[in-house]
Structure 1
Amino acid sequence: MERKIKQQVRGYKTQDGAGVNLVRVLGNGTVQEYDPILMLDSFDSTNPDDYTAGFPMHPHRGIETISYVYRGYMTHRDSLGNEDTIGDGEVQWMTAGSGILHEEKLPASERLLGVQLWLNLPAKNKMVPPAYHSIKNSEIEEIELENGKLRLLAGEFQGTKGYLSKYLPLDYYDIHLDPNASIVLNTDSERSVMVFTLLGDAYIGDALIKEKTAVKLTSGDHVKIKATDKNTQVLFISSTLLAEPVVWGGPIVMNTKEELNKAFNELKEGTFLQNKISY
């Protein structure tokens, strides 16, 4: 059965961090439908004043943040002592788990283009040790398609394996299609699948979807993605439905109000970090 559009969400312009202009596509109001993806922020600017303020040091617990910077750069620093820069096609994968502090700096570049996802952690894994991993271009397979290419950011595609998520399975593809080209992706019918049109409009199934739109797909074993008469770049994201309670407060996402209150109390008391910081 072919997957079709179940819901679509176009983002709205907002600011976050120290004054970063971005488009927030998924958030509190889309949690249930897009489970386990909690948030999707899109960045697309040729004006460094839109983003160089960055995201100063802040806490997270209960989630994983996955940043894909297709153009431009992002420098990460955290309370575990990690400091790393990704850019021009690379991925930053941070497991907040029991608690981490991190900052993200966005140096000036010709263009900043990418997205950040928040992937929920299952209740049993909410308090796992925090960790950071970057997926460099040398680790990302580029698979040639007829009239396009697929960049395997994470997961598996037709037997080719990329970075494998530790807590929830995640297939994450960056698909580039030439004008009027198409691709049919086979999908596990039990998976929760969404697509985001990063650059250009695209046909998902038979529906024309505008640029910077997230679409949740119905269940099925395949989906067809087709470019218009212009180049198209879409992100395909497939994972496992959690169907667990979500209690969300700012940078922290837990399963109960008590867990959320405990996290904020620990922040006030200075006991939030359960792993020794290096500075």
Structure 2
Amino acid sequence: MSKGEHPCELQKPRQVARKFLARPQHEGMGAVVRRSIGRFELRYFDPFLVLDEFYVTGTAGFPDHPHRGFETVTYMLQFFHSWQGGMMHEDFTGHKGTIKAGDLQWMTAGKGIVHSEMPAGQGTHKGLQLWVNLSSQNKMIEPNYQEMQSKDIATVARDGVEVRVIAGESMGVKSPIRTRTPTMYLDFTLSPSSRLRQPVPSTWNSFVYVLEGEGVFGREGSPPVGPHNLLLLGHGDGLEVWNKSGKPLRFVVVGGEPLGEPVSQLGPFVMNTEEEIDRTIQDYEMYVNGFEMARYWRSEAMVGQDL
């Protein structure tokens, strides 16, 4: 067995079906994101609505804004060369804290949340935010948080391959995160000359997002792919990856069970029909049906700007 090769046999490895380079764009208040899912070429990849690699500096960020009907997964990144700050989070229920480098926040917006995400301290703060759609039966559940510090995220290293198990399972380790829409989220680092075989349920949609280094994905003879590229994977029971470069390769593998339901979206509101979106807008404007606490709430970050 070669370095990094794990004893799982894939009957039909997934190939790269499409590739997108995520280019920078402005979002929120002065923030920059590289959006790969949720842009005009790829509006939706069931059950995933948005994938952003975000960068915030100084006073830039994502001030008070609402959500309904899905989950946001915020994962602050630690890069090979340095640690990158964190994001301060607060919402209208009084929940607040700091998501530091390597930490995870899995937020279920459900029937409604209004929150703020702003940088903690100086420097540039980098992370990934994934939006996971909820089924019609879960869209109006009560909001909820699952949070994990970096030290508590299960990490396994073997034969040149390291994985942080954000959600799902890899290399015999399972994450405690509950995913209402069945989801896997794995952060891999492959040392030079290592190889990975990662099973993915054959009925799920899955993708790769490259963070650092260059890797060969799906087929050994394929050209290497570098940072900020999203790779949509075709059908199969898993993924094969090779690091043939002289530097470490880091990427995330994300997969989810498709909901197969209609999607109606208006910005931060995601429901099944236009009528439900209309009711959501009315609920938000009238401060009812989950948005009651939004009437008088402003984040500390926004109040501080008024002083």
**TM-score, structure 1 normalization:** 0.91
Which aligned segments of 4 or more residues in structure 1 are displaced greater than 4 angstroms?
Answer: 274-279
Q: Which amino acid aligns with 1:190?
A: T
In the aligned structure 2, how far is the partner of 1:265 from the partner of 1:80? 20
1:39-78 equivalence runs, <5 A: 39-44=50-55, 48-49=57-58, 52-70=59-77, 71-78=84-91
Q: Is the 8 A contact 2:160 2:190 kept in 1?
A: yes
Q: SS of 1:209's equivalent?
A: coil
Give the aligned partner of residue 266 of structure 2. Answer: 249
Once the two structures are superposed, residues 113-146 of structure 1 have per-residue CA deviations (whole angstroms, 9 ceiling, x without a partner) of 3210001011111101111221112321110121
Q: Which deviates more from structure 2 when the two are superposed, residues 219-228 or residues 266-275?
A: 266-275
- 1:88 and 2:104 matched: no
CA distance in 1, matches of 2:275, 2:39: 19
User: What is the rounded CA distance, in whole Å, between the counterparts of 2:24 and 2:150 in structure 1?
Assistant: 30
Q: Is the 8 Å Cα contact of residues 204 and 256 (structure 2) preserved in structure 1? A: yes
**Which amino acid letter does the alignment assign opposite residue 65 of structure 1?**
T
Aligned counterparts of 2:179 and 2:154: Cα–Cα separation in 1: 19
User: How big is the shift at 1:44?
Assistant: 4.8
Larger of the two Rg values belongs to structure: 2
Report the residue type matching 1:167 in the other structure.
R
Q: Which runs of 5+ in 1 are unaligned?
A: none
CA RMSD of aligned residues (A): 1.9
List per-residue Cα deviations over 1:8-37 (Å, max 9, x = no partner).
2211211111110121111054244x2111
User: Is the CA contact (8 Å cut-off) linking 2:167 and 2:177 kept in structure 1?
Assistant: yes
**1:265 correspondence with 2:282:** yes
Q: 1:173 & 1:20 partners in 2: Cα distance?
A: 25
Deviates more, 1:186-195 or 1:268-277: 268-277
Residue identity in the other structure for 1:217: L
Instruction: Work out the CA distance in 2 between the residues paired with 1:95 and 1:165.
Output: 11
The residue number in structure 2 matching 1:7 is 18
Q: Which has the higher strand share?
A: 1
Question: CA–CA distance in 2 between the matches of 1:261 and 1:44?
Answer: 32
- Give the structure-2-normalised TM-score: 0.83
Which residue among 135, 149, 168 is the counterpart of 2:181? 168
Residue 227 of structure 2 corresponds to: 211
Q: Percent identity?
A: 31
Aligned residue pair count? 274
CA distance in 2, matches of 1:167, 1:274: 22
Tell me, in whole angstroms, the C-alpha distance in 2 between the residues paired with 1:133 and 1:122.
19
Range that drifts further, 157-166 or 243-252: 157-166
